[in-house]
Amino acid sequence: MRTQVAVVGAGPAGLLLAHLLRLEGVDAVVLESRQREHVLGRIRAGVLEHGTVELLREAGLGDRLDRVGLEHHGFSLRFDRADHRVPLTELTGRSITVYGQQEVVRDLVEAAESEPCFGVSDVVLHDVTSDRPSVGFTDADGREHVLRCDVIAGCDGFRGVSRSAIPASELTCLERVFPFAWLGILAKTAPAHHELIYAHHERGFALHSMRSAELTRLYLQVGPDERMEDWSDERVWDELALRLEVDGDFELVPGPLVDKGITMMRAFVAEPMRYGRLFLAGDAAHIVPPTGAKGLNLAVADVRLLSRALTAWLLHGREGDALSYSDTRLRGVWRAERFSSEMTAMLHRSADPFERRLSLARLRSVASSTAAATALAQDYVGASEDA
């Protein structure tokens, strides 16, 4: 087997990279260890930055996004039993769109010229520092293959095999594990508010989001050692109502749960994001705490730059952008890590009384200062192409 770019991983990063490359005439083959149904059914984040939406439209992927995506022009910060709206469009001229990651993946699979190779196993990357790299794998029918290529794109997530193909002596991994987790639910009930709500409460953080006019996505800050069986549906709804409550008209209407789980909170960056002819993108290279809604958008920013760099190299012999890919993207990654960590610190309840007072001071600054609100809004919507 032969291709120009072997893409390991059929998440949004890998699928979008292959799509963008094919639009430019670069051949790509996508390998994925999970089955098709699993890939299409994974429920993930769904807040798209302004630049992400523009790129998807330019790539011919905007039809369903424009029909069912929910464009938002602001979001709410709740604390001290009051609602404080951050008017994103008024402050930045940009908006965000709520559109589930699984919907983006579905659009990409349906738009693909050739189906990704689902259900592969025993994936091994070979000779990544040579000009003849390859990927060995076993297909879903048990047949062994070697996929020869010019470049390998590692888009297989935090626990994938791509990053481990870089020798430990050549890789620096920086990580922060936060002392709390998120309990998330997806419920069949209409959203209680037309925009996202980020709530800072003495009992902990809460987030009100949505996936559609009939599906609501909600999160609670919980301890890292919490067990799902200790959280009945009734307890979850009671705690959400308590933390999201304000003085005024607001009612959270419980509904049947479609999904329920606990997610640990971490930040992670691997440096560099390129080793020879292996390029990392998405969660294979970095993880951000979900508070700032940057995970999917960072993956899109990665492949936007990588697709252009590989096109210039493989079609036109210009390798400069490919060689500088890691340095360029790490600047954007660290900006996102900084913003996501600051949002996390501002909104979550800390065990440290000093930190709790700092959080309130930050929130009150955003609520009372146009300059502080503008800085927050610019980071949230993605103020520049590589942010």
Which residues belong to the active site? 72, 198, 290, 294, 380
Distance CA 349, CA 162 (A): 36
Distance CA 387, CA 382 (A): 6
DSSP 20-67: HHHHTT--EEEE-SS-HHHHHH-----EE-HHHHHHHHHTT--HHHHH
> Nearest 5°: CA angle at 44, between 92 and 264?
100
Tokens of 95: 């908006």
Tokens of 268: 């992670």
Q: What are the beta bridge partners of residue 47?
A: 98
Cis bond leading into 289, ω under 30°? no
Q: Cβ(44)–Cβ(287) under 8 Å?
A: no
DSSP at 83:
E
DSSP H or E stretch at residue 295 = helix 295-316
Query: How many CB atoms lie under 10 A from the CB of residue 152?
Result: 26
